[in-house]
Structure 1
């Protein structure tokens, strides 16, 4: 994978002594306050991005082109960034998997959700020229230099990291066997169709198949019912899957024992399981508050419902922004159902649900 250089970041070793000198004279926050009056992207060390354009990607999705400032250090295809926007005076952060363009800009595709405050703002209200906060890239769904035969599974906005991976593969020679299976409910919800078709036409080793679950042969298009007979050398395939949690879990079961490896990222929570009824007492050690939180809800959502807003980012257990110390009690990993009760350990609030009474370092 190609990694973008640090773009002359102020933390570069060649400027380490000026950085130390400036820090001894003025705080980064004060520096940022005055410098952004001149140029909104001029900060001491904070990565930011400016919205350059917005275009329709599908019936319910748009693609934003954003320009990072020099403090953003680049990414590998398939990784995520946290994008922060200010809505009604409150800073909200969401995770997206962008495509790095040749000019250093990022293409961020946003699918509008019915109850998605941030997604609808970005898709309909954000103004060209608006400044977003940006984190450095994170995530492990990347490929080695020689990835071998691949089977890529994408549903909904899970196509975003797959697009980035395919563009990267095409830039350095497509492997002999790459199959992309891309699910959507309706044809007008598919993104990047022209680009994906052009990549397939240019690279004989790449095959793209679109599967529509609400049109045509919908029952046969489901991931748990799809035929795999047409995929050559299935046992040698490395599978990467991205989509809603239900899709990822169904794909994992469908591919189980038939492929070389299976890696996935899910961007939604699983449905509530039996045994999650009732609530527990959660003590917040730092603030001294005591709350009652539901067992079937993530700690992050439960805290937010009580008006508490811990730092968070991706909301799917990848970025670790919401990691919090647990002094005592048990939590359940929402994605795997594993229970954890080790004292003085770290929990990710977005994918951990309370199982017993807890004491958290909040």
Structure 2
């Protein structure tokens, strides 16, 4: 972990950001601190402050930046700085939770704010000016050990927000080494609580989990402990085995892991349509999920890529255990002849043109996409055959 403190990270070396943080009496918190300590790239920067949201808005404006009340009911303001937005949230404590939504009150107590976060590694704070770290629940030690651990009683934390079951496994797949047994036991005992959540929230976590570094063993662990049974019962042990095989093929082919492709491996083919609908995936992702299970076909990989697009063909070939070598860096060509060229050869305008073009295209694909001169020969041949058949 190199003992690095976040402000030596490039994202924190922003004078305007540090000056604003000091005015807001704020600290860096959460993912930016955690990922910097691990030497990983940082996506989003979050500040926590004891000041009220109204005070934050005034101070951001006074500093010459635009405040956007993105989540003001929960105390979050986005400060738009020249080199990227920063989220500023007032310290909070939970007043009531029902597993889906939390009602919060603002506080000026840093420890109270840390106590309402999910895992110890997500409750680390850093002083923007000095780099001093604040760790109220042993998060640094857990981060070093690769241990995703709930803050406080795991069962109580899951009761507050059921999505934490999915997050526990997603964070373990991303950062974990040895699993925290008390967390695993609590998630297993409360897996049915996932039924109370919207399927979109479950899908969002699952898709992130599927591309995490240790997705394969973690999904197998989730199947073994019945985590999916209540919400996606179609995911079983044979699905986690298919996922393991797909991940190996992706790695061997040098193809980036993809969440939708991996979900397709995890499901039996007939489940792609109903599960895609239940998880409310986007139309594009739903179509892709269903198409990925359609098999490699028998025309060869380039023919498949021409008909299904390169991305779709890669999905189908990898899921079928076929090679993607021939199409990885290949751009499917356009058929080098038009209907006009057939009309010039005496074909009557109308449905005959489209029918004969399809025949030419089929031969062109079968012959491995030859150039214009061969396509002209094929056109002459197919038009002559059509004439002979009509004579």
| Structure with larger RCO (C-alpha < 8 A, sep 6+) | 1
What TM-score results when the alignment is normalised by the length of structure 2? 0.27
Q: Which has the larger radius of gyration?
A: 2
What TM-score results when the alignment is normalised by the length of structure 1? 0.29
